[in-house]
Amino acid sequence: MGTTAADFLIASEEKAFDTRHRAIINNNMGKYGAAVERGLSRIANLENAKRKGHVIKWRVMENLDKLLPEFESNFIRRGGKVIWANDAEEARKEILNIIQKANAKTVIKSKSMVTEELHLNEFLEQNNVESLESDLGEYIVQLLGQKPYHIVTPAMHLSKEDIAKLFHEKFDTPIDATPEQLTLKARELLREKYLQADVGISGANFLLADTGSICLTENEGNARLSTTFPKIHIAIAGIEKMIPSMADLDLFWPMLATHGTGQNLTVYNSIISGPRQADETDGPEEMYVILLDNGRTNLLAQKEQREGLYCIRCGACLNACPVYQNIGGHTYNTSYSGPIGSIITPHMRGMEEFKHLSNASSLCGKCTEVCPVKIEIHKMLLLNRRDAVNDGLTPAAERWGWKFWKAGMLKRSKMDFFGGGMKNWFMRKFFKKTWGHFREMPQVADKSFSAQWKERQKNKDKDSE
């Protein structure tokens, strides 16, 4: 078993039996569930909206080679610059090049999962560039030296008491500070940073091909400040974020908001089409969009699994997943956790190292049920498992185990050859560790159901004589 998979099992067991962690997550997810249920009830025909979103994203993936150049030409027309990055290393180099060329020393960031994928903060720090998160949840986990726990709510694993303690230690605020007081303190600390920052970096919720624009959706207004105050704005987006037209936002923005937080629409929605124009009063002097591949075309090449690229990063599947609810986001050891992370990470970061994520599922299908663009997530998990087997990436012990199991299951005489005592010994010997330290092993009966049934029928026949 690879180190990543082994670490996953250890971390999963630790988190699953951490009662405090589970209490915090259950409380936060309970609030989320109630809000989303209310939000979804306001959509007139939810199933139809999901189908429409699915078809639009299908059309995008089938025509990505046309839509990406269309976006590029429209964005360049407004004075922006487009950079194509094949992988994370290329993207980081291009970002650093822009920063160094401008002699910049400080960066303010709005929330962006793709920058987490690039490990951008750590990279910039190594190159003597200060990079500060401006989203409150991201800012909190950055202060803690952690990665985001969830793709929508980065600090979901923390209670308000945890955050009050952190602010008390870092900024000497009262240990019993309220969430409102903590928010005001964060605003006070960050406000000056927006004015001082040389470069603003953002992600993009959507890319609009017809206008050459990026779309940002948020609740705090920090993205607007991060993209307008600094002289340079760098937006980084995965190539799958494309949608054909501004008119499609009429569907995607409400669906993202409702499935993400239960809102009709998030508080701030911005469409940015390039640097400040001659007749405009605010905005950056230079704007770059970095279009990132980083394994996405590997997934695009998989005809059966490219649906994973339809994802609009609402986080609904994470909140619905019983596995995620028990083991938490950090356990996955990848930027994209939960069910969606389990299907895309093996293609983006390597099947051999991350194939275990596709097995971290009960296959209950709840993730598929809640997806706003109808990605068949549970089916994709099975396809990933199939690919891992076909590529010979499963351990020899597992292959031999299934071979013997298949041989036994195909013939009743082989199944009944060993009695219950031998089967129980075999299970204790080979499955105790994998079954888990906190579970009791099931007890196999001395005789199989088939053997017991035959005996019963024989006794019946004797009695009838």
The full 3-state SS of 295-344, as one line of letters, equals: CHHHHHCCCCCHHHHHCCCCCHHHHHCHHHHHHCCHHHCCCCCHHHHHHH
The residue among 431 and 35 whose pLDDT is bigger is 35
Is the distance from CB of 118 to CB of 88 less than 8 angstroms?
yes
**pLDDT tens-digit readout, 141-192:** 999 999 999 999 999 999 999 999 999 999 999 999 999 999 999 999 998 8
pLDDT at 121 exceeding the cut of 90 = yes
Sorted by where each begins, the domain ranges of the chain are: 43-294, 396-464
Is the distance from CB of 123 to CB of 142 less than 8 angstroms?
no
| Exposure of 442 in the CB half-sphere (CA atoms within 13 A) | 4
**Kind plus residue range of the DSSP H or E element containing 80:** none
Q: Which range has the worst mean pLDDT, 23-27, 73-77, 85-89, 371-375?
A: 23-27
Alpha-helical regions (H) of 63-159? 64-77, 88-101, 113-117, 120-126, 136-144
Class of domain 43-294: alpha beta
Neighbour tally for 26: CB within 10 Å = 12
Sign of CA dihedral 134, 136, 140, 142: negative
Is the distance from CB of 26 to CB of 209 less than 8 angstroms?
no
The residue among 131 and 440 whose pLDDT is bigger is 131
pLDDT at 1 exceeding the cut of 50 = no
Of 24, 5, 39, the residue nearest 163 (C-alpha) = 24
How many Å apart are CA 191 and CA 29, to the nearest integer?
30
Task: List phi, psi (to 5°) of 444.
Answer: -85, 135
How many Å apart are CA 106 and CA 291, to the nearest integer?
23
Print burial letters for 389-407: b (CB count within 10 Å at least 16), e (below 16): eeeeeeeeeeeeeeeeeee
How many Å apart are CA 122 and CA 58, to the nearest integer?
35
Q: Which range has the worst mean pLDDT, 101-115, 325-339, 437-451?
A: 437-451
Q: Which residue has the tokens 């204790």?
A: 428
Contacts of 430 (CB under 8 A, 6+ apart): none
**pLDDT tens-digit readout, 380-431:** 999 999 999 999 998 888 888 888 888 888 888 887 777 778 888 888 887 7
Is the distance from CB of 272 to CB of 325 less than 8 angstroms?
no
| pLDDT computed for residue 413 by the predictor | 82
| pLDDT computed for residue 419 by the predictor | 75
Is the distance from CB of 328 to CB of 21 less than 8 angstroms?
yes
How many Å apart are CA 380 and CA 359, to the nearest integer?
11
Average pLDDT, the chain: 93
Rg (CA), the chain: 26
pLDDT at 128 exceeding the cut of 60 = yes
| pLDDT computed for residue 421 by the predictor | 80
How many Å apart are CA 181 and CA 356, to the nearest integer?
42
| pLDDT computed for residue 436 by the predictor | 66
pLDDT at 2 exceeding the cut of 60 = no
pLDDT at 363 exceeding the cut of 80 = yes
Contacts of 61 (CB under 8 A, 6+ apart): 240, 300, 306, 309, 310
The DSSP output letter for 197 is -
